[in-house]
Structure 1
Amino acid sequence: MPATGTRTPPRTRTQQLVGSLDAFAYDRLPAPVVRQAKNALYDCLGALMAATSRRYPVMELLEKTAAEAGPGTSRLFGSPLRTNAATAALANGTLAYYCDIESHHPSANVHAIAVVAPAALAVAERQRSSGADVLAATVAGIDVAARVSYALGPAVQYARGFHPTTVAGAFGSTVAAGLLLGLDGERFAEALGLAGTSASGLLSWVDDPTEQSRPLNIGLAAQAGVQAATLAALGMRGPADVFGGKYPFGQAFTGQWDQEALLAGIGERYAVGELFFKRNSCCVFIPAALDGLLDVMRTHDLRPEDIERVAVRAPRSSYHVVDANPLRSHCMQYVLAVAAHRGRVGFADIMTDLRLTDPAIAGLSDRITVAGDAALDERAGALRQSVASVTEVTARTGETYVRDVEHPLGAAENPLPEADLERKFTALTADVLDGERARAVKAAVDGLDGAPDITALTSLLETGTVSRVR
């Protein structure tokens, strides 16, 4: 018993976060949050399975990775291979972000579901976890990934060349894995410490037109979380207060740490309800301008050849990421030119540079400019990342049309109907899932909270044969 007058030491920042995770127990989640978690998981699986198409080179590389790691209990989706949970998280996380069409948390600027869902499913297969537990772990992981990014400042991470999804996402995947492994408070804090020691993620992939290092970043964050939680469960010790201590995490990455942003309103508002569901394969800083351009073209019956120029004002904190980027998925000029001609942008349009074969797309791309506008950042506030754009379209007749889009279709404030999500899933997976299996995946996700074992869902994602693994 403590001596009279002694005081219990205050809980560390990391302990406070771990202690708050009870708020994400499945039976405490509001029904709309559970529904949104199912939508996010379903949408992510569509993007992931699309990437397993043999049209793309990444699947063969990941099969080699899984085979090299050896057999295990967790599936490499789109393949008959199984491997250890950490490698499965690496591979499936890479696939989930490959097509850049899964949901995204705009203001925290994290592709949270692409990191968290592969980690949760890999561990859940090993643990034979229930569907309800997976949903709860997914909600918690998304929340923590977004909160860590807020605490660091997403715009500051970008300014320093860090990718928020990978830096903050490693904590989200650790939380999802740790909940499914049943870590106690002390082990959980140390798992977060271990995750922090491996968290990284540079934006250098913007100079890689192969589109391979970009998604690998997300796979690495998923793997880091599974690995950290697994090591902690086995008894590996780690920093007990990664968010505080002598060398706090935030000081290393951005020079700041907003504890209020990490913990405020936890269990009252949920990041999963703030996701943006994409309709096109492109960086999240592009859809607002894309919606504006297509709306002008529809409203005023403009064809691409009728457009003299397009001037886009994007947030100053991020415009340089999408201005003339050599990575086509992150190039505003390229994506808008393709969308103007085709009405949408699929990943096949990203993998091949259509400007080389279509002079009209190349010509329009050359007539599109992007500039930074600090006023768009100010709308979002100091910590949050804006995805708004102001698009000015000048026709060859001399008339100019302006669209100010703050919330593109698919944003939480302008949601994409669930029927559209199902059509998106069907279109994305047409190469790899027949109609019957695609419908079965939808039914399995819808009924996930009643599933005693996650493998009822994951078995539907095992397809095909291994190709040239050696």
Structure 2
Amino acid sequence: MNVPPTKPESGAATVLGSLAGLVHSVRYDELPAGVIKAAKALILDTLGCAYGGLHSDLGIAVRRVAIDCGGSPQSTLIGTGEKTSAALATFVNGSLLRYLDSNDYYFARDPAHPSGNLAVALAVGERERCSGKDLLAALVAAYEVHMRLCNFAGEPSLWKRGWHHGTNAQFSTAALAARLSWDDPLRTAHAMAIAGTHQNTLAQLQSGAVSMIKATVEAWVAKAGVEAALLAGVGVTGPLPLMEGTNGWAASVAGCVDFKALTAPVSGGRYYLLETSVKPYPAVATALAPIRAAIELHRAAVPRPADIEKIVVHLPGFALATPSAHPGRRYPGSIESAQHSFYYCTVIALLDGECGEAQFSPSKLADATVRELLAKTELTEDSALNDLWPQAAGGAVDIHMHDGTVRRHRCPYPPGHPRFPLDAGELADKFYGYAAPVLSRRRAQALHDAVDSMEDCADLRDLTELLAAP
């Protein structure tokens, strides 16, 4: 992006200025091999999720809106290969990758789905004709910003203050778009300041009956992050003391931010990206451990529903305070609500011995046996799981039989957690399971290979042309 030079700012250094310096300090040649490997794995996992959402009602709707709006053909839409502006491509692709609720996640004061940053990286990276190394370094930096905010912002958390955790993505996505467009930390600070004035998102979006728009939350914020960088790129300035100002983000939105920890240099090559968890099932992250426990109980011989007195799902206390534990989620009426129901996710995994897209079909939601067991399911707080929170969202399932026996299985760490990682075969199965039906196995393999050798890519257009079905 051709940008005019920024003018030096007078006055003291700002938090966003320091954060921008951190973003620009991340260099590909200095990244540990393990971080690069993990970043590639997350890119493939996220792309797979996007293909899984391609033909959803929401995926079709956002694509129609983008094509109707038009825009310069700067960036590729995943699955179709159509071109639109970088901002609109970010919105469409970000919505696709989030739709199934199967993309990566992280827990701290607030949770996050940091893979939402990939939509920005692909769209802006293609627009700016960046290299694969550029994308990897910028994406690692965006994960760092996003996940640090989860740890060091919010009193006690954004969610408990009424804000959706996607709010944090306004800073990481603006920083990412800026980093791929220029090497000017001051201009990047302005991009983050512009984004941070507008994209604070209400938690009501994910409370009660979950609507379709929930899947766009990070995508909407990310689109605005790209637009903030575009504005900064043509010289528009933002309020640089946005974080620490009297009426700034820390005081008005977060309540409290640990500025020193937020902006500290990376120590010992230990980037937060390595703490991300990968989802093996398309469900809310706090349901993954109960799902796995239920599947293990099914494999051990699932009892007849009529012989079950009750099903007890053990969870950390935090999970019980989220909408997924609300009694209104006991009998979900939509895929979005079912994916965010501890009751439903546990019961369907116990009955079917799996938890994929097929388990969230309308016929499953209405099934009489499912509803019979939902009525017998209760949730309870588990002190041992509290001890592991937020480092892990563990879970357990007890099946109490009418004959007095109890069948139990515990998962202190959910599958896909850094302490319980998916193996290469599981990751590949997930990617190809979503991507191959859209691309063909051959083309999905080509995309897999291109991401695996991304450091050799001189122009991201060579990679993004593989995103479309033949």
Instruction: Report the TM-score when normalising by structure 2.
Output: 0.89
| Matched AA of 1:316 | G
Counterparts of residues 150-299 of structure 1 (less than 5 Å): 150-153=151-154, 156-164=157-165, 166-206=166-206, 211-264=211-264, 266-267=266-267, 268-299=269-300
| Matched AA of 1:112 | P
What do the CA deviations read for 1:57-107 (whole angstroms, capped 9, x no partner)? 123212221112214211121223211111110111111100111111233
Distance across 2 between alignment mates of 1:24 and 1:172: 14
What is the Cα deviation at residue 365 of structure 1? 1.7
| Matched AA of 1:217 | V
Which of 18, 40, 43 is 1:41 aligned to?
43
Which residue of 2 is the match for residue 467 of structure 1?
none
Q: Which consecutive unaligned segments of at least 5 residues does structure 1 have?
A: 1-7, 465-470
Which of 26, 29, 43 is 1:27 aligned to?
29
| Matched AA of 2:355 | V
Which residue of 2 is the match for residue 342 of structure 1?
352
Aligned length: 448
What do the CA deviations read for 1:293-317 (whole angstroms, capped 9, x no partner)? 2233434x33352543221232322
Alignment partner of 1:332 is 2:342: yes
What do the CA deviations read for 1:332-368 (whole angstroms, capped 9, x no partner)? 1111111112222223433526231x21111112211
Does the 8 A contact of 2:250 with 2:256 survive in 1? Answer: yes
Does the 8 A contact of 1:86 with 1:122 survive in 2? Answer: yes
SS at structure 2 position matched to 1:345:
coil
Identical positions, percent:
28
Q: 1:101 to 1:372 in 2, by over 3 A?
A: same
Q: 1:210 to 1:10 in 2, by over 3 A?
A: closer
What do the CA deviations read for 1:240-294 (whole angstroms, capped 9, x no partner)? 1222122231222231112244134625321211111111110001011112222
Which of 454, 458, 462 is 1:456 aligned to?
462
Which residue of 2 is the match for residue 147 of structure 1?
148
Question: Which one is further off, 254-263 or 75-84?
Answer: 254-263
Distance across 2 between alignment mates of 1:186 and 1:90: 26
Counterparts of residues 50-61 of structure 1 (less than 5 Å): 50-53=52-55, 56-61=56-61
Distance across 2 between alignment mates of 1:116 and 1:105: 13
What is the Cα deviation at residue 133 of structure 1? 0.6
Does the 8 A contact of 2:24 with 2:183 survive in 1? Answer: no
| Matched AA of 2:271 | Y
Q: 1:334 to 1:452 in 2, by over 3 A?
A: same
Distance across 1 between alignment mates of 2:119 and 2:243: 25
What do the CA deviations read for 1:192-231 (whole angstroms, capped 9, x no partner)? 1111112222232335757521111121121121111111
Which residue of 1 is the match for residue 85 of structure 2?
84
Which residue of 2 is the match for residue 394 of structure 1?
400
What is the Cα deviation at residue 372 of structure 1? 4.1
Question: Which one is further off, 305-314 or 44-53?
Answer: 305-314
Distance across 1 between alignment mates of 2:295 and 2:261: 36
What is the Cα deviation at residue 122 of structure 1? 0.5
Distance across 2 between alignment mates of 1:444 and 1:128: 16
Distance across 2 between alignment mates of 1:216 and 1:385: 26
Which residue of 2 is the match for residue 102 of structure 1?
103
Distance across 2 between alignment mates of 1:375 and 1:157: 25
Does the 8 A contact of 2:324 with 2:341 survive in 1? Answer: yes
Which of 363, 368, 379 is 1:359 aligned to?
368
Distance across 1 between alignment mates of 2:170 and 2:363: 32
Which residue of 1 is the match for residue 18 of structure 2?
16
Alpha carbon RMSD of aligned pairs, Å? Answer: 2.2
Which residue of 2 is the match for residue 418 of structure 1?
424
Does the 8 A contact of 1:304 with 1:340 survive in 2? Answer: no
What is the Cα deviation at residue 431 of structure 1? 2.8
| Matched AA of 1:293 | A
Does the 8 A contact of 1:155 with 1:385 survive in 2? Answer: no
Does the 8 A contact of 2:157 with 2:254 survive in 1? Answer: yes
Q: 1:294 to 1:74 in 2, by over 3 A?
A: same
Alignment partner of 1:135 is 2:141: no
Does the 8 A contact of 1:328 with 1:353 survive in 2? Answer: no
Distance across 1 between alignment mates of 2:419 and 2:395: 15
What is the Cα deviation at residue 374 of structure 1? 6.6
Q: 1:362 to 1:261 in 2, by over 3 A?
A: farther
Which residue of 1 is the match for residue 7 of structure 2?
none
Which residue of 1 is the match for residue 451 of structure 2?
445
SS at structure 2 position matched to 1:277:
coil
Does the 8 A contact of 1:109 with 1:154 survive in 2? Answer: no
Distance across 2 between alignment mates of 1:265 and 1:309: 51
Question: Which one is further off, 208-217 or 26-35?
Answer: 208-217
Does the 8 A contact of 2:299 with 2:353 survive in 1? Answer: no
Q: 1:406 to 1:263 in 2, by over 3 A?
A: farther
Distance across 2 between alignment mates of 1:230 and 1:432: 32
Distance across 2 between alignment mates of 1:227 and 1:236: 11
Which residue of 1 is the match for residue 377 of structure 2?
368
